[in-house]
Amino acid sequence: MKNNKLKEVEKRYRELGVEGDDVFTLIASEYIRFHKLELSERLIGIIKKADEINCNGNSQKMESIAKRVVRYDKLAKKLPILYQFFHSKRFRDNTGKFFTPRNIARSMAEVIDPKNDVLLVAAVQLREVDSFCSPYIVDLAVLSIVECQMLKYICNIFKYGQR
């Protein structure tokens, strides 16, 4: 889903008084209904949350927007992009930070030897994908606390000169 389409959806919902994670919840609820998924407690929670959103008397218009989004992406392949754009928007707008996708975080955690005194350092390159800035790990290093202290010392030498 292109950035301009997401912004159009965002604009239409904002005109109806709904923003951010509430928009994602309404769209996610429509995906659940469209695919007639077996309802787990978590999916029931999403539907309940969507039903509790104040639609300001515009529930049919909001449902129509969500249905168009789902029809455009019937297989829900764009759901992570929708999540990134709407659900994390409030956090991102307030802090300028982005969430690390779970699959990346999980892979990073699996790389670490389970010791208390290690630090995972990831070199990340940002790439544009579908008009979004997405992180790609280009290198990983697992350092002990001693190695981290040495690295800090070496960096200080380069930054401030010989001590």
What would the pLDDT profile of 74-133 be if each residue is shown by its tens digit?
Answer: 888 888 788 778 866 555 555 555 555 556 566 655 655 555 666 666 666 777 766 667
Q: How far apart are CA 135 and CA 128, in angstroms?
A: 9
SS3 135: strand
% pLDDT > 90, the chain: 16
Question: Distance between CA atoms of 131 and 129, rounded to whole angstroms?
Answer: 5
pLDDT at 163: 47
Res 69 pLDDT > 90: yes
Cβ-contact 45, 9 below 8 angstroms:
no
